Amino acid sequence: MQDMIVILDFGSQYTQLIARRIREINVYCEIHPWNKIPELGSHVKGVILSGSPFSTRDPKAPQPDLSKIKGKIPLLGICFGAQYMAQHFGGEVLPSTIREYGRAMLSSVDHQHPLTQGMNANTQVWMSHGDTIKVVPANYRILASTKDVEVAAYHIEGEDSFGVQFHPEVYHSTEGSRLISNFVINIAGCAPNWTPDSFVESTVKQLQEKLGNDKVILGLSGGVDSSVAALLLHKAIAKNLYCIFVDNGLLRKNEFDSVLDSYREMGLQVKGVRAAQQFYAALKGKTDPEEKRKAIGKVFIDVFDAESHLIEDANWLAQGTIYPDVIESVSVDGGPSQTIKSHHNVGGLPDYMKLKIVEPLRLLFKDEVRRVGRSMNMPENILNRHPFPGPGLGIRILGEVTEEKVRTLQEVDAIFIDGLKEHGHYDEVWQAGAILLPVQSVGVMGDERTYENAVALRAVSSTDGMTADWCHLPYDFLANTSSKIINQVKGVNRVTYDISSKPPATIEWE
């Protein structure tokens, strides 16, 4: 079995980053909630305790049972994890007199020690804590300090257990990856062989064992996740994979045909279903964003359901679910999180379809999905495309959606996206698109008064869509794009650029 590290999550905002750093050194790891510790078989080479929004001094703070871990296999506590191991085993954690947030320098580092070897004196680390370890138990040896924090890193002598007060997983800890690699590879002894190629090889084998001669249906969205999932399944079961790509009438200009062509060039067996009119009919008269999303989702299910019944004896449904959707989140206050928008993906199909689910990407982060796609020679135009929401232009036309408005927005969007590509901005931007506003305003063209539509352009930088900033595109580019749109798209006389970050705005307007 693949060597792995288990990360126990105490609700830190950085937990996923710990996993990313470990996977970057080609070692597999999984995140589990602190109160659901999985069976630690011999392939689990080490455990990491994450940070937490809780103070260890809070009576409601997590109290993990480490009896099967500490002293038995390599263990690294980060921030809360380090404080917990200090406090719980006889030390003392107190509120800091100086709260340390952000940059700090490690003023003394034990360069000989396996955990900190190779790290420079005065290396920058990232701190984020209101408590500090004041007293460590007798057998805890201090490996590093900062100006304000004496216990910045420690080793529990006689066992492979360690703690660090800082966050080695964040990029601002300049040599954090070195420390993580020291722990994962040198101390825990993981073999760094989790690569895109090894993932493809093992996943194809597992899919073949799981699916045998069964038939699988997969809904393609044009996005990278469903496309990579399809390619993996195609490698595993070839002709038994049946892909469906639905034209909901809300795709980008010419997208349906061009994406369908790309899929066929990749060798996929894919049926393109033209269902635009069904979607427009369902959207008629609807102006509320949530009602529109639900209507689009429902028609999608109806179309997909009808199509899947045409494939005889299919008993599996493949989905492009990725790891961030799978990680069970640790809720700090115990309450449910609020629904901001009801997302619709090609994946979210109802139980009555009675299909078993197969999710070949459920272990991967988004950037890993791309790396896997690249290792299978997926065309760059699919691999590098910006994310596009399931409800498509339907949520970028504010208010009622009509076929005519879709056509107008497609033209505007195409000018913007083609311009980004032409001027080399496309790959710098995480996601971009145009929004048709329910606003008409006065303009003048030639000597004529106009009273036409306004559009907004949106381009954001992000890593996962959870937070985003607006892109500072060059003024010249924006000016050029604006005049092209107004000159070429009938019915549009005003272009605005959205300069809101997320939060407080969201990326999509509806």
Q: Where does this chain bind ligand XMP (CB under 6 A)?
A: 341, 343-345, 387, 389-391, 431, 465, 502, 506-508
* Cα dihedral 181, 125, 54, 78 in deg (nearest 10): 20
Q: HSE (CB half, 13 Å, CA atoms) of 95?
A: 2
In degrees, rounded to 5, the angle at the alpha carbon of residue 187 between the alpha carbons of residues 185 and 189 is 50
Burial class for 415, CB neighbours closer than 10 Å (0-12, 13-18, 19+) = buried
Which C-beta is closer to ligand XMP: that of 285 or that of 504? 504
Residue 468 C-beta: closest distance to ligand XMP, Å: 7
* DSSP code for 395: G
Radius of gyration of the chain (CA): 26
29 has catalytic annotation: no
Quote the CA–CA distance of 241 and 230 in Å, as a whole number: 8
Please classify residue 49 by burial: count the beta carbons closer than 10 Å to its beta carbon, then call 0-12 exposed, 13-18 middle and 19+ buried: buried
Shortest separation between residue 321's beta carbon and ligand XMP, angstroms: 12
Q: Which is nearer to ligand XMP, 2 or 506 (CB)?
A: 506
Contact 127, 101 (CB under 8 A): yes
Nearer to ligand XMP, 169 or 508 (CB): 508
Please, what is the minimum distance in Å from the beta carbon of residue 120 to ligand XMP?
38
Q: Where are the alpha helices (DSSP H) in 28-143?
A: 80-88
Concatenating the DSSP letter of every residue in 282-294 gives: HHTT---HHHHHH
Which of 144, 259 has the CB closer to ligand XMP? Answer: 259
Q: Check if the beta carbon of residue 466 is closer than 8 Å to that of residue 337.
A: no
Q: What is the spatial distance between Cα 27 and Cα 77, in angstroms, rounded to a whole number?
A: 18
Tell me whether residue 200 or residue 318 sits nearer to ligand XMP (CB atom): 318
Give dist(CA 27, CA 185) in Å, integer. Answer: 8
Strand order in the sheet with 44-49: 28-33, 4-9, 44-49, 75-78, 161-164, 153-156, 140-146, 92-109, 124-135
Query: Which is closer to ligand XMP, CB of 394 or CB of 419?
Result: 394
Structural contact between residues 3 and 46, judged by C-beta atoms closer than 8 angstroms: no
**Catalytic residue selected from 29, 79, 243, 471:** 79
In 310-402, which ranges are continuous DSSP H helix? Answer: 323-326, 366-375, 380-383
Residue that has been written with the tokens 């003394």 in this structure: 108
Least distance between ligand XMP and beta carbon 389 (Å): 3
Catalytic member of 169, 368, 508, 510: 169
155 has catalytic annotation: no
By DSSP bridging, strand 241-247 and strand 270-274 are: parallel
State the catalytic residue, choosing from 129, 167, 234, 344: 167
Amino acid at 203: T
Which of 240/431 has CB closer to ligand XMP?
431
CB of 432 to ligand XMP, least distance (A): 10
**Is 169 tagged catalytic?**
yes
Give whole-number Cα distances, 263 to 231, 319, 377, in Å: 9, 17, 13
* Residue 272 to residue 303: CA distance in whole angstroms: 11
In the complex, minimum distance from the CB of residue 464 to ligand XMP, in angstroms, rounded to a whole number: 9
Three-class secondary structure of residue 379 per DSSP: coil
Closest CA to 74 of 33, 27, 111: 27
Residue 81 or 219: the one with the smaller Cβ distance to ligand XMP is 219
Q: 88 or 502: whose CB is closer to ligand XMP?
A: 502
- Are 475 and 412 spatial neighbours (Cβ–Cβ below 8 Å)? no
What residues are annotated to the active site? 79, 167, 169
